[in-house]
């Protein structure tokens, strides 16, 4: 398992980032596209009528959330280095146990090595938590939200260009996640995924693809290795990019998940999975003032529950953005999700959002959003509904 900084070490990482934001937020003039700093700073005030996402005895609270973001881009001949930091720091008025301090730092080095060969080296370090009521989140009562730290890295090599007849992409991604509270050490895990993708480019803007993935999941601090698993998938799909109208990528295929044991250390039966898998993301702009985004997934995810080792998550969401003018905009979206757990449990989640924004100045924006969330579960006591109102003020450096 990766050695992750905690406590004071976290602030030793974050303080330079915060100072970097303050110094860099004004480093570029508006509308500058040259390499350099870019930053945003948002303050959210939200009212949540069910902060614990419970079926009964609902408790409401008011929260203040500060979300800074900073990026820096450097160009070295044909190569590029991207650095980034994002944070989310929440303070609740009454229930301080719900406060959180999330942050992420990342670096990506994109190398153009030859007319046909490119490479990307990336690393990301995240401190975060599992949101109440979210898909797969623990439902143990009386505990703070589960917190975790994660180190991820990737190597991505592409041979060929979009203008070539064919392209081949080889990618490896490694992720180490460590839980930091609520006695969750048995959930600590390392995940390694190898991707091999072949593209047949019909034009410079549209392609067919064939992709194979191999994933190994190892629980590093569990009492046994029974829940360790290997996943393999193969998918066919297409990608396209017709500027100003639509862009997207869709993959459809089969997934198999093989667990190492037949029963886990709790005595629960473990069953392998084999079935359909899908990924898709489509952007469509029928006219300049309207933009639609469609997303869909069906994939296996690791479970937090004692009685299930994984669940199959099926998700579909649609978002719409409409510009009334250069100052006013409307956003709306709906998401539906079905989670099928290996022990037979089934969850249905729904999320509906609607809001609007007003550009007060070139750098300042004010937004108001409403979100309705619900869960219907075959597990007794897991159902909930929630209503969240949020007012956001955002400063954009450029």
Written in H, E and C, the secondary structure of the chain is: CCCCCCCHHHHHHHHHHHHHHHHHCCCCCCCCCCCCEEEEEEEEEEEECCCCCCCCCCCCEEEEEEEEEEEEEEEECCEEEEEEEEEEEEEECCCHHHCEEEEEEEEEEEEECCCCEEEEEEEEEEEEECCCCCCCCCCCCCCCCCEEEEEEEEEEEEECCCCCCEEEEEEEEEEEEEECCCCCHHHCEEEEEEEEEEEEEEECCEEEEEEEEEEEEEECCCCCCCCCEEEEEEEEEEEEEECCCEEEEEEEEEEEEEECCCECCCCCECCCEEEEEEEEEEEEEEECCEEEEEEEEEEEEECCCCCCCEEEEEEEEEEEEEECCCCEEEEEEEEEEEEEECCCCEEEEEEEEEEEEEECCCCEEEEEEEEEEEEEECCCCCCEEEEEEEEEEEEECC
Average pLDDT, integer, range 341-358: 95
Residue-level pLDDT at 142: 66
Average pLDDT, integer, range 149-173: 96
Average pLDDT, integer, range 276-283: 98
pLDDT band, residue 141 (cuts 50/70/90): low
Domain 8-396 has CATH 2.40.170: yes
pLDDT beyond 50 at 189: yes
Q: For the chain, what percent of residues have pLDDT higher than 90?
A: 76
- Domain boundary assignment for the chain: 8-396
Average pLDDT, integer, range 185-203: 95
- For the stretch 2-42, pLDDT in tens is 444 334 344 444 444 444 443 343 333 333 457 899 999 99
Q: Tell me the pLDDT of the chain averaged across its residues.
A: 90
């Amino acid at each position: 398992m990766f050695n992750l900084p905690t406590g004071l070490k976290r602030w030793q990482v974050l303080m330079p980032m915060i100072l970097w934001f303050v110094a860099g937020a004004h480093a570029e003039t508006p509308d500058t596209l040259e390499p350099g700093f870019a930053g945003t700073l948002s303050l959210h005030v939200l009212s949540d009528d069910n902060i614990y996402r419970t079926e009964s005895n609902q408790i409401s609270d008011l929260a203040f959330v500060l979300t800074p973001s900073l990026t820096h881009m450097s160009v070295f001949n044909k190569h590029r280095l991207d650095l980034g930091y994002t944070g989310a720091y929440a303070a609740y008025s009454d229930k301080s146990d719900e406060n959180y301090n999330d942050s992420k730092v990342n670096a990506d080095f994109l190398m153009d090595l030859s007319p046909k060969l490119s490479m990307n080296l990336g690393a990301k370090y995240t401190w975060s938590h599992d949101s109440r009521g979210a898909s797969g989140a623990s439902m143990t009562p009386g505990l703070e939200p589960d917190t975790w730290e994660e180190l991820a890295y990737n190597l991505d090599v592409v041979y060929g260009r979009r203008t070539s007849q064919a392209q081949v992409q080889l990618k490896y991604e490694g992720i180490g996640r460590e839980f930091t509270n609520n006695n969750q050490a048995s959930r600590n895990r390392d995940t390694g995924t190898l991707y091999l993708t072949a593209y047949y480019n019909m034009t410079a803007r549209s392609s067919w693809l064939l992709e194979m993935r191999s994933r190994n999941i190892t629980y590093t601090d569990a009492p046994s290795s029974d829940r360790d698993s290997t996943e393999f998938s193969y998918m066919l799909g297409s990608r396209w990019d017709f500027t100003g109208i639509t862009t997207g990528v869709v993959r459809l295929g089969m997934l198999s998940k093989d667990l190492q044991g037949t029963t886990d250390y709790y005595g629960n039966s473990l069953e392998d999975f084999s079935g359909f898998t899908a990924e898709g993301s489509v952007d469509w702009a029928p006219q300049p003032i309207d933009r639609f985004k469609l997303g869909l997934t069906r994939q296996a995810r690791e479970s937090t529950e004692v009685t299930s080792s994984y669940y199959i998550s099926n998700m579909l969401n649609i978002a719409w953005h409409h510009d009334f003018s250069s100052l006013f905009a409307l956003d709306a979206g709906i998401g539906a999700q079905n989670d099928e757990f290996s022990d037979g449990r089934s969850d249905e989640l729904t999320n509906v959002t609607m809001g609007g924004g007003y550009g007060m100045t070139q750098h300042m924006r004010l937004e108001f959003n409403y979100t309705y969330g619900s869960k219907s579960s075959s597990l007794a006591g897991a159902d909930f509904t929630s209503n969240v109102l949020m007012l956001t003020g955002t400063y954009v450096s450029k």
